[in-house]
Amino acid sequence: MLNKIHDIEKLYEISNTIRQDIIIMLLEAGSGHSAGPLGMADVFTALYFNVINHAPENPNWPERDRVVLSNGHICPVMYATLARAGYFPVEELKTLRKLGTRLHGHPHNLALPGLENSSGPLGQGLSIACGMAYAAKMDNKNHHIFCLMSDGEHEEGQIWEAAMFAGKNKLHNLTGIVDRNNIQIDGFTEDIMPLEPLKEKYESFGWHVLEVDGHNIRHIIDACNEAKAIFEKPTLIVAHTIPGKDVSFMEFKYEWHGKPPNKEEAQKALEELRKLRTLGGKIISEHQ
Amino acid sequence: MINKEAKLDSNLFSNTAFKATRDGFGDGVVEAAKINKDVVLLCCDLTESTRSLAFKQAFPDRFIEVGVAEQDMAGIAAGLAFSGKIPFITSYAVFSPGRNWDQIRVSICYSEANVKIIGAHAGISVGPDGATHQALEDVSITRVLPNLTVVVPCDYYDAKKAAIEAAKFKGPFYMRFAREKTPIVTTQETPFKIGRAELFRHGKDVVIIANGPLVYQSLLAAEELEKEDINAVVINCHTVKPLDKETLLKYAQETGAVVTAEEHQINGALGGAIAELLVENYPVPMKRVGVRDRFGESGQPDELMKKFNIVKEDVIKAVKDVMAMKKSKK
């Protein structure tokens, strides 16, 4: 089992490294999504380096916690996280979207160790996670199921079917995490199709709902631990994130939902990210 | 001449017994669950009519009611399968695989989830419910999906065996069943193997490749054609995908004329599959019996089968047409 990291500063270093990986991968690939993966780097770091029980050297370990990625288009952040956790060589990240790769444009469970499901077409992950949680309950297994979803994909009806099922069956071993970054391809979610009040919607479906700053790793970890402790209901964590987080010209811009940086943009993004490296709580340049 | 090794029902033409394929599924899935404790069954508010009730009563802890949510059911089943279960998902074929095709494509087939998709009330023989509920496209839309095996049982015993074998079979699997009671053609002893076409009748002039209730209609047709000195082979091609190419091509070569017959649109299902097989390997004159690219309507099952040209008489006509084509080709 992978050792858990409790040093928050160390976790921020990892999420910063993952963000740099994402930029490098997208530049290499020449296509893909930028904003979502950058926005979710802190959540992925918290999950894979502190919250979940998993064993990268034994990806199919039966007792592992499961992470189901429903909005498959943010897979660059998942790939970078899995590589940094030791599932496969970091160097392989540069094969993203290229012929012969295991890192497909949208994730394929059979292609790469560490992936629990295939996704891309939105709205399918929560049902899969429900099935896993139901099976674990049937078999009296103690592992936990996390399902990562986007906010925009909540326009798909299937998510609400699954939310009803989870509420009905009191799937306490299931935790949904919504990347609440307020953007989707065509614009802001509340303009395209209003989702609010999201918390109340889930609560009315029988879920326990928590809201966190999706960039505060301490709070993300605390929320996940609370979710595991809730024993009567499934839990939804609304992670408020900034799309394009830590790259100034991408932050909050829906235009960066579905495109990669070009060479100059990538260089600028990497410079900004490298400047944010923290050591001992102080933000310093890595090259200082 | 009937193939004795097929061990068909001896009362086939005289004192025919009737039973629905859905009952074969219902009995078969209970057997499968007795054999393997990982078998679970999911249902979308249609427990009685999909014949899932006996399973629910025998294995209440392994029965999962999903509500009217076929897309969710497909995804939940994938999650169960990834956790080692063998889920059978049951609904009407118009809803599953009709409504949840994308979930079947990505969450089940692409991901190789070991899910058994059960499409009940398939075919025009659903009758009075009308076109919305008559699945005539399900075989076409499932046959195009990689990794998915597609089976159309011909009668009660075929369906029962298919359900039992499906649980043993590893991989995504689609089976369609009908509501209406149809003639029992086979027996408990009739051979059944997923992926193998079964020879039900010997002949030399033409081969009729059928599945579902059209197997019986084809056997009846062959008996009548015998009087006119036309000897027809009849094959039960229950597995539409993967096709038993070897057997099918063998009889196409021996007879030089092919008729397909099914309770489905003629496009893309058994007829389409056989046409593709023949064109690429051994082109011979061929005719398809099936619903000809139109929606059904309300009516009694037997009235509809006649109106939509999927009964014995239509098979006979197709055989005569294809024989004429064969003759003119020579």
Write the pLDDT tens digit of every residue in B69-119: 999 999 999 999 999 999 999 999 999 999 999 999 999 999 999 999 999
Largest CA distance in chain B: 63
- Residues of chain A found within 8 Å of residue B61, distances taken between Cβ atoms: 138
A166 in contact with B at a CB cutoff of 8 Å?
A: no
- Amino acid identity at B104: I
Distance (Å, whole) CA B192 – CA B185: 13
- Residues of chain B found within 8 Å of residue A133, distances taken between Cβ atoms: 79
Average pLDDT, stretch B158-176? 98
Out of B74, B79, B107, the one facing A135 most closely (by C-beta) is B79
Q: Do B79 and A132 touch (CB under 8 A)?
A: yes
pLDDT score for A1: 87
B-contacting residues of A 189-248, CB under 8 Å? none
Interface probe, candidates A155, A158, A173, chain B, greatest B C-beta count within 10 A = A158
> B211 — phi, psi (to 5°)?
-150, 175
Out of A124, A139, A165, the one facing B107 most closely (by C-beta) is A124
Burial class from Cβ neighbours inside 10 Å (0-12, 13-18, 19+) for residue A91 reads exposed
Distance (Å, whole) CA A56 – CA A41: 19
- Residues of chain A found within 8 Å of residue B74, distances taken between Cβ atoms: 127
- Residue B14 neighbours by CB distance under 10 Å: 6
Interface probe, candidates B39, B62, B70, B76, chain A, greatest A C-beta count within 10 A = B76
Q: Cα distance from A217 to chain B (closest Cα, Å)?
A: 28
- Residues of chain A found within 8 Å of residue B84, distances taken between Cβ atoms: 135
Q: Do B82 and A116 touch (CB under 8 A)?
A: yes
B110 in contact with A at a CB cutoff of 8 Å?
A: yes
pLDDT score for A279: 57
Third-level CATH fold of A8-283 = Rossmann fold (3.40.50)
Distance (Å, whole) CA B325 – CA A200: 69
- Amino acid identity at B176: R
Strands B18-20, B181-183: pairing is: antiparallel
Q: Look up tokens 């932050």; give the residue.
A: A251
Residue of chain A whose Cα is closest to the Cα of B103? A124
Q: Cα distance from A163 to chain B (closest Cα, Å)?
A: 10
Residues 6 or more apart whose Cβ sits within 8 Å of residue B10: none
Distance (Å, whole) CA B108 – CA B159: 22
Distance (Å, whole) CA A255 – CA A9: 31
pLDDT score for B329: 77
Residues 6 or more apart whose Cβ sits within 8 Å of residue A264: none
Distance (Å, whole) CA B295 – CA B130: 9
- Residue A105 neighbours by CB distance under 10 Å: 18
How many A-B residue pairs are in contact by the CB < 8 A criterion? 102
- Amino acid identity at A226: E
pLDDT score for A278: 58
Each of the 288 residues of chain A gets a pLDDT tens digit; together they read 889 999 999 999 999 999 999 999 999 999 999 999 999 999 999 999 999 999 999 999 999 999 999 999 999 999 999 999 999 999 999 999 999 999 999 999 999 999 999 999 999 999 999 999 999 999 999 999 999 999 999 999 999 999 999 999 999 999 999 999 999 999 999 999 999 999 999 999 999 999 999 999 999 999 999 999 999 999 999 999 999 999 999 999 999 999 999 999 999 999 999 998 755 545 544 444
Provide the strand spans (E) within B278-326: 286-291
Distance (Å, whole) CA B3 – CA B11: 14
B-contacting residues of A 131-160, CB under 8 Å? 131-136, 138-139, 157-158
Read off the tokens for A126.
């929560």
Torsion of CA B251, B252, B257, B260, to 10 degrees: 90
Q: Give one DSSP letter per residue of B225-253, joined into a string.
A: HHHTT--EEEEE--EEES--HHHHHHHHH
> Hey, what domains does chain B have and what are their CATH numbers?
4-11+190-329 (3.40.50.920), 18-183 (3.40.50.970)
Is the interface score ipTM higher than 0.90? yes
Distance (Å, whole) CA B104 – CA B95: 12
Contact by Cβ (8 Å): B233, B257: no
CA nearest neighbour of A238 among A181, A194, A174, A164: A181
- Please, what sign has the CA dihedral across residues B148, B151, B152, B156? negative
pLDDT score for B311: 98
Q: The pTM is what?
A: 0.96
Distance (Å, whole) CA A274 – CA A68: 30
HEC-encoded secondary structure of chain A: CCCCCCCHHHHHHHHHHHHHHHHHHHHHHCCCCCHHHHHCHHHHHHHHHHHCCCCCCCCCCCCCCEEEECCHHHHHHHHHHHHHHCCCCHHHHHHCCCCCCCCCCCCCCCCCCCCCCCCCCCCCHHHHHHHHHHHHHHCCCCCCEEEEEECHHHHCHHHHHHHHHHHHCCCCCEEEEEEECCEECCEEHHHHCCCCCHHHHHHHCCCEEEEEECCCHHHHHHHHHHHHHCCCCCEEEEEECCCCCCCCCCCCCHHHCCCCCCHHHHHHHHHHHHHCCEECCEECCCCC
Q: Do A165 and B84 touch (CB under 8 A)?
A: no
The catalytically annotated residue of B5, B31, B48, B70 is B70
Q: Is B70 a catalytic residue?
A: yes
pLDDT score for A287: 41
A61 in contact with B at a CB cutoff of 8 Å?
A: no
Residues 6 or more apart whose Cβ sits within 8 Å of residue B84: A135, B38
CA nearest neighbour of B324 among B259, B239, B275: B259
Q: Cα distance from A205 to chain B (closest Cα, Å)?
A: 15
B80 in contact with A at a CB cutoff of 8 Å?
A: yes
Burial class from Cβ neighbours inside 10 Å (0-12, 13-18, 19+) for residue A287 reads exposed
Residue of chain B whose Cα is closest to the Cα of A64? B83
Out of B71, B79, B102, the one facing A161 most closely (by C-beta) is B71
Report pLDDT digits (tens) over B119-148: 999 999 999 999 999 999 999 999 999 999
3-state SS assignment for residue B285: coil
Contact by Cβ (8 Å): B100, B73: yes
> B127 — phi, psi (to 5°)?
75, -120
Report pLDDT digits (tens) over B44-60: 999 999 999 999 999 99
Q: Do B72 and A135 touch (CB under 8 A)?
A: no
**CB environment A60-76: b (16+ within 10 A), e (fewer):** eeeebbbbbbbbbbbbb
Distance (Å, whole) CA B104 – CA B111: 9
Contact by Cβ (8 Å): B24, B155: yes
Read off the tokens for B297.
């309507």
Q: Do B103 and A124 touch (CB under 8 A)?
A: yes
Contact by Cβ (8 Å): B193, B15: no
A162 in contact with B at a CB cutoff of 8 Å?
A: yes
